[in-house]
Amino acid sequence: MFRFFENLVDPFASFDEATPPKTLWAYLKTQVGPFRKWIVAMAITGVLVALVETGLIFYSGRLIDLLGGNTPAELFDNHGTELLLAAAFILMIRPLFIAINHLFLEQLLAGNMQEQVRWRAHKHLLGQSTSFFQNDFAGRLSNRVMQMGGAVEDAVYMSFEGIWYALTYVVSAALILSGVHPLLAVPLLVWVVIYVFYVRYIAVRVAHASEKWSGARSMVTARVVDAYSNIETIKLFADEGTEERYVLSAMRRLRLRFQRFLRLMTELSFGLNVINGVLILGMMSPAVWLWSNGVISVGEVAAASALTIRLNGMSGWIMWVTVRLFEHAGVIREGLQSVAVAHDVTDREVAPKLSVEKAAIEFRDVSHHYGKGRGGLDHVNLSIAPGQKVGLVGRSGAGKSSLVNLLLRFRDAENGQILIDGQDVREVKQTSLRQQIGMVSQDNSLLHRSIRANILYGRQSASEAEMMAAAARAEADQFIATLEDPKGRKGYNAHVGERGVKLSGGQRQRIAIARVILKDAPILVLDEATSALDSEVEAAIQDTLFGLMEGKTVIAIAHRLSTIAQMDRIVVMDEGRIIEDGSHDDLLAKGGVYAGLWARQSGGFIGDVGDQDGQSGKESAAASDLALDLPTDSA
């Protein structure tokens, strides 16, 4: 039975993946949608439960009158059947109504909505561009996703369990009291009006305070996670005091926000007790007066008093539920600041998959200034023939990474086109584009999963033998065999820690290379792919990479020029433009920027000193090498 209700809605079913609405009610409507056909059932069972509860109180008054108007023998002789039916109702019908109501609310609603909200929010965030995540804290984003799930589920749940039930209870109580005597219903209705206005007054302030409190919680989480994620940097610079102050300032703000929220709770409690005192006196005074004049019976006075006491207790609960609803509204609004952000890199509505046969790449008058009007790329034209291996050279900020990021559609170019086999990358599905490109970057982060899972990320359908062969080609199989994590998992089953922190930089790089080897995409991008490796391993990996390049179109970024000297072409970039293009030998013969960079290499890296003093490249290099007491690197 439980499973039946739990499976009435699939929280992970496909859904309209449009950007979530930014307004609270519109967003809640999209989340309630899958539950819509069951809402009537929840409402009906909620009404039945409320009617049963008020009916029991009313019947308790009738029972008092029966006890007072009959001897024990007369009671069972005259009303025995009625009492048995009442007992059967209490023992069987009432629990059944309550059970069905809770099956709908807990197994169907609460058991599914929370995960539905989180899954949809997470799926939407996964579709955001890399710049979206670069501009925010991962901790804050994850906190918002997790908080929103609980807030939406609890808000909808309490709307039925609290507000709808309470509304039904109050209405039925007013009908019962007016049936006893119209005068008894008047204080209840007056109390309801005062109560509603007071709740609204407090709740609006609570919603604002809650949003501030939620934002402060997200900031604390963000700063704490940021500290834990970068603990090596914090330890390296021995500056825990600065880090402590950074987090402490956020915690102080969180404490202040929470204190303001608690002040409202205290104010709420005081006002509620004053209002409830008015209810008790307003209900009991006319009831006693009517009894003293013989208008109503003792049982009816008892029923009125029982309803009053019940409403007195319920009012605090209703107030708490209402405040929680407004508190959740603040949490949801705060979360929507991240979740309701449209994707800045999107696929066309009917975008086809990228079809790669030759893997020719063309950058056609591409400009991208990151919305600033300068920097980035400026009118870049570059054609790379199928199977050609191109090295990108240039100082930091020259535009090399921007070129690669646009090729991968981490961002969309502001102007111009990027074509692969004549297909504009903006016109095809992003996933199909990236499936055709293998990339090894300078800082390859690994997932906090097993070695096997990280390598298989390159191609999930690969066999165990193919996965192990890729590791062997990447010179990673020997160190993998020695791994063991704190839980005793060994070799390919060992987990690598968050971002792969349990491995050295070189080990992480080799796992990343194995992943790309397994992917075997027709286009290969290398961004300082061997910079984290020692000389011996680098030599072995270089051979592997050159073998991997066979038959592929390759773009390689490197500051160590010796790693790209064997490329078919070398493209030199500066300030977002291509300033030189040719083979290694041709560029050296020209005696231009590349020749100067090559001559300036001391240990194999591009220097930062330019020719601003008028020296030639070789003269400048000689001066630099002399100052370092190092031999001049030659071709």
Contact 455, 518 (CB under 8 A): yes
Structure tokens at 632: 């001049």
CA dist 91 to 142, 292, 546, Å?
47, 36, 80
Instruction: Give the position of tokens 């952000």.
Output: 341
* pLDDT given for residue 93 in this prediction: 87
Mean pLDDT of the 265-290 span: 79
Q: Helix, strand, coil: what percent of the chain each, to 5? A: 65, 10, 25
Mean pLDDT of the 325-337 span: 84
Q: Any idea what the Cα angle at residue 5 is, between residues 2 and 10, rounded to 5°?
A: 120
* pLDDT given for residue 134 in this prediction: 78
* pLDDT given for residue 540 in this prediction: 67
Instruction: Give the position of tokens 């300033």.
Output: 579
Which residue, 141, 116, 146, 147, is CA-closest to 337? 141
Question: Which of the 8 DSSP states describes residue 60?
Answer: H
Listing DSSP states for 553-569 in one string gives EEEEE-SSGGGTTTSSE
Helices (H), 457-504: 464-473, 477-480
How does pLDDT run across 335-369, given as a tens digit for each residue? 898 888 888 888 888 889 999 999 999 999 999 98
Longest dimension (CA), the chain: 123
Banded model confidence at residue 40, pLDDT cuts 50, 70, 90: confident
- Strand 361-368 and strand 377-384: the pairing is antiparallel
SS3 159: helix
CA dist 76 to 62, 73, 80, 106, Å?
15, 6, 4, 41
Contact 392, 557 (CB under 8 A): yes
Q: At what angle do helices 111-126 and 24-32 cross, to 10 degrees?
A: 110
SS3 473: helix
Cα–Cα distance measured from residue 301 to residue 291, given in angstroms and rounded to the nearest whole number: 7
Domain extents in the chain: 2-339
The CATH class, in words, for 2-339 is mainly alpha
* pLDDT given for residue 634 in this prediction: 33
Helices (H), 159-295: 165-180, 182-229, 231-236, 240-292
Cα–Cα distance measured from residue 47 to residue 45, given in angstroms and rounded to the nearest whole number: 5
Structure tokens at 364: 């056609």
Residues with Cβ < 8 Å from 19, sequence gap 6 or more?
A: 124, 340, 341, 342, 343
> Is residue 444 pLDDT above 80, yes or no?
no
How does pLDDT run across 128-178, given as a tens digit for each residue? 888 888 788 777 888 888 888 888 988 888 888 777 877 777 787 787 777
Burial category of 371 from C-beta neighbours within 10 Å (exposed 0-12, middle 13-18, buried 19 and up): exposed
Burial category of 550 from C-beta neighbours within 10 Å (exposed 0-12, middle 13-18, buried 19 and up): exposed
* pLDDT given for residue 523 in this prediction: 94
* pLDDT given for residue 279 in this prediction: 75
222-226, 548-552, 583-587, range with greatest mean pLDDT: 583-587
44-58, 393-407, 409-423, 604-618, range with greatest mean pLDDT: 409-423
Lowest mean pLDDT among 205-214, 326-335, 598-607: 598-607
Structure tokens at 164: 């709808």
Cα–Cα distance measured from residue 35 to residue 606, given in angstroms and rounded to the nearest whole number: 61
* pLDDT given for residue 536 in this prediction: 67
Cα–Cα distance measured from residue 139 to residue 118, given in angstroms and rounded to the nearest whole number: 15
Contact 633, 588 (CB under 8 A): no
